[in-house]
Amino acid sequence: MNASDPTLERHKSGMRLVWVVPIAAAVVGIILLVNTWRERGPTVTITFENGEGLEVGKTLVKYRNVTIGRVSQVKLDADRTHVEVVADLAKSAADLAADGTHFWVVRPRIGVGWATGLDTLLSGAYIGVESGAGGAKRTQFSGMESPPPLPHRAAGRQLVLEATELGSVSVGAPVYFRRFHVGQVIDEYLDDKSHAARIVLFIDAPHDQAITRATRFWNASGVDVSINSDGLKVRSQSVASVLAGGVAFEEGPDVADADAPSAGADFLLYKDEPSAMAPPDGEPHMVRMRFDKALRGLTVGAPIEFVGVDIGSVTAIDVGYDAVSQRFPVFVTGKVFPRRMGLAYTTIHAGGKSDTDDDLARLTAQLVARGLRVQPHSGSLLTGRLYLALDFVPASPKIAFNPGARPIELPTLDGNLGELETGLNHIVAKINALPLHEVVAQANEDLRDLHGTLQSVNGGLLPRAVTTLGTLEDTLQTADALLTDDSPFRSNIEDTLGDLQYTLRSVKALADTLNRHPEALIRGRSKDASPTPATPQAPSP
């Protein structure tokens, strides 16, 4: 023990030096620990439908393709309906653990015209993150099953469209402006209250500047083939929109009273371009019509026309029962858009702006007084479909119009059941009106007279005609005998003609002599006067 005591002093100095090593190690360790603690971000729990491709310690959490965390735990939730994924995020990504952030599993996805997540074919799935607007901190998230279609915080504008039905528009479908691809459909859902289809669009900047209050959106899906007086017309936006559907928009007519979508939506989605570009319809008004005859061929949706202009459609057809007359009248309910009557409406409806049922009832009362009636007409000869036409029938009987009834009751005319039928009826009526019996009786009488006439001809006229003909034949035979070559009559005539010819020649010779020697009439023929060779010796008188 004595020997070891003095060495303690040396031990102390040696001890000080060597303890630097563990102290340095401890300092480095503490620095690392502090660094790790400082860089340690929040731990978030994300709920997914299934955990396909998620591996503890390997699956990364990526934001803008930069790793910001790692999955540390994958487990089933309490009722085994979902998968809970616990992920540790980096300190730099702490802001992402807030309201509005979306998590989804990036897997390979292929659609019409697009493919995403192909890198995960080899590397395995990872969890994608999309930051929201930023809100309250939270660590519990519900993961999305498909990625949000929008890139991170893209510049542009988000719009909500309201449509009566979804049609063939799907998430990711393109949005066209003058056939340029300027955005896409990012969501679609049914509104809880109005049960209208809502379609959320995202228009990329700067094309969102093209959207004004007057912009009209329509469903540009599929191919629109129309045949009109200009010929065959085929319209479509692009091959992709034919397959995947699409939405197009253009500047529409800027009108103050354009159809407004319900609360929560920015614009209406029209079913096609013509209806989108049509002037606004204004408020629809319900009308009711009673028909006492069967309306075969009238269907819900059949047009209601006013002097040839489509102003509404049939919404319901009901069969009623009239206890008094014991008949079954047909009650047709329809909605009409008076504004579709255009200038006619605004002119007649001098009131102008207001569009209530009362206004329409007052106007209708005037029109009914002037003979406005609803008549079913045949729209197509082939299908027999009917449409309802509001026409002025001046000869119609007066009808008491009740302006207080709601829906507005329009008087009807049953008689005019289709133009074709009417026409046929007219023809049949005319045929019926013809005096066929009298005509036939007269004809019989005439035929009898004709018969008598023919009998008299046969009895008297014909024998006499035969006798006459025989006499005529005898006469002709006589004439023929007279004119034959060897008949004495003919030779007599020839002799007479020869004599006559000779006489004429003599007279001519005398005339020549007298012409040259007029004195010969007194003195007689001189010697030198040579007689003409042709002149025969005129017999002396």
Joined together, the tokens standing for residue 326 give 């014991």
In the complex, the smallest distance separating the C-beta of residue 157 from another protein, rounded to whole angstroms, is 36
- 291 with 330: CB under 8 angstroms? yes
Nearer to another protein, 4 or 432 (CB): 4
91: contact with another protein by CB under 8 A? no
Residue in 50, 72, 92, 123 binding another protein, rule: CB under 8 A: 123
11: contact with another protein by CB under 8 A? yes
- 432 with 426: CB under 8 angstroms? no
Please report where in the chains the tokens 């702006």 appear, as a residue.
353
Rounded Cα gap, residues 230 and 378, in angstroms: 26
395: contact with another protein by CB under 8 A? no
- 389 with 417: CB under 8 angstroms? no
Number of residues that bind another protein (CB under 8 A): 28
Nearer to another protein, 70 or 508 (CB): 70
Nearer to another protein, 30 or 450 (CB): 30
User: What sign results for the dihedral spanned by CA atoms 181, 183, 185, 186?
Assistant: positive
Q: What angle do CA 447, 453, 454 make, to 5 degrees?
A: 90
Nearer to another protein, 55 or 499 (CB): 55
Nearer to another protein, 123 or 299 (CB): 123
1: contact with another protein by CB under 8 A? yes
64: contact with another protein by CB under 8 A? no
Nearer to another protein, 44 or 106 (CB): 106
In the complex, the smallest distance separating the C-beta of residue 17 from another protein, rounded to whole angstroms, is 9
Nearer to another protein, 57 or 394 (CB): 57
Q: In the range 296-325, which residues lie near another protein by CB under 8 A?
A: none
Please report where in the chains the tokens 């995947």 appear, as a residue.
244
108: contact with another protein by CB under 8 A? no
In the complex, the smallest distance separating the C-beta of residue 3 from another protein, rounded to whole angstroms, is 6
- 98 with 122: CB under 8 angstroms? no
What is the pairing mode between strands 224-228 and 231-235? antiparallel
- Which part of the chain contacts another protein (CB under 8 A), choosing from 120-128, 242-250, 367-375, 403-411? 120-128
475: contact with another protein by CB under 8 A? no
Residue in 111, 113, 124, 148 binding another protein, rule: CB under 8 A: 124
Rounded Cα gap, residues 320 and 337, in angstroms: 26
- Which part of the chain contacts another protein (CB under 8 A), choosing from 14-22, 171-179, 486-494, 506-514? 14-22
What residues contact 532, with CB distance under 8 A and at least 6 apart? 509, 512, 513
Cα separations (Å) of 285 from 24, 193, 406, 516? 88, 22, 10, 127
- Which part of the chain contacts another protein (CB under 8 A), choosing from 122-130, 141-149, 240-248, 400-408? 122-130
- Which part of the chain contacts another protein (CB under 8 A), choosing from 12-20, 88-96, 382-390, 427-435? 12-20
Phi and psi angles of residue 422, each rounded to the nearest 5 degrees, phi first: -60, -45
Helices (H) and strands (E) in the chain, counts: 12, 25
Nearer to another protein, 72 or 356 (CB): 72
- 176 with 182: CB under 8 angstroms? yes
Rounded Cα gap, residues 185 and 195, in angstroms: 19
Residue in 55, 57, 433, 458 binding another protein, rule: CB under 8 A: 57
Nearer to another protein, 15 or 205 (CB): 15
35: contact with another protein by CB under 8 A? no
149: contact with another protein by CB under 8 A? no
Nearer to another protein, 67 or 491 (CB): 67
6: contact with another protein by CB under 8 A? yes
* 390 CB neighbour count, 10 Å cutoff: 23
User: Of 32, 102, 99, 45, which is closest to residue 72 (Cα–Cα)?
Assistant: 45
Residue in 2, 326, 432, 456 binding another protein, rule: CB under 8 A: 2
In the complex, the smallest distance separating the C-beta of residue 9 from another protein, rounded to whole angstroms, is 9
24: contact with another protein by CB under 8 A? yes
- Which part of the chain contacts another protein (CB under 8 A), choosing from 11-19, 149-157, 209-217, 361-369? 11-19
34: contact with another protein by CB under 8 A? no
In the complex, the smallest distance separating the C-beta of residue 23 from another protein, rounded to whole angstroms, is 8
* 285 CB neighbour count, 10 Å cutoff: 22
* 360 CB neighbour count, 10 Å cutoff: 21
* 44 CB neighbour count, 10 Å cutoff: 23
User: Of 210, 146, 162, which is closest to residue 182 (Cα–Cα)?
Assistant: 210
What is the pairing mode between strands 224-228 and 215-219? unpaired
118: contact with another protein by CB under 8 A? no
In the complex, the smallest distance separating the C-beta of residue 94 from another protein, rounded to whole angstroms, is 21
Q: Which alpha helices (H) appear in 271-402, and where do they start and end? A: 273-277, 343-348, 357-369
Nearer to another protein, 4 or 209 (CB): 4
In the complex, the smallest distance separating the C-beta of residue 27 from another protein, rounded to whole angstroms, is 9
Q: How far is CA 72 from the centre of its chain?
A: 58
- 98 with 68: CB under 8 angstroms? no
* 157 CB neighbour count, 10 Å cutoff: 15
Nearer to another protein, 127 or 265 (CB): 127
56: contact with another protein by CB under 8 A? no
Rounded Cα gap, residues 55 and 37, in angstroms: 24
Chain positions contacting another protein, by CB under 8 A? 1-7, 10-11, 14-15, 18-19, 21-22, 24-26, 28-29, 32, 57-58, 60, 67, 122-124
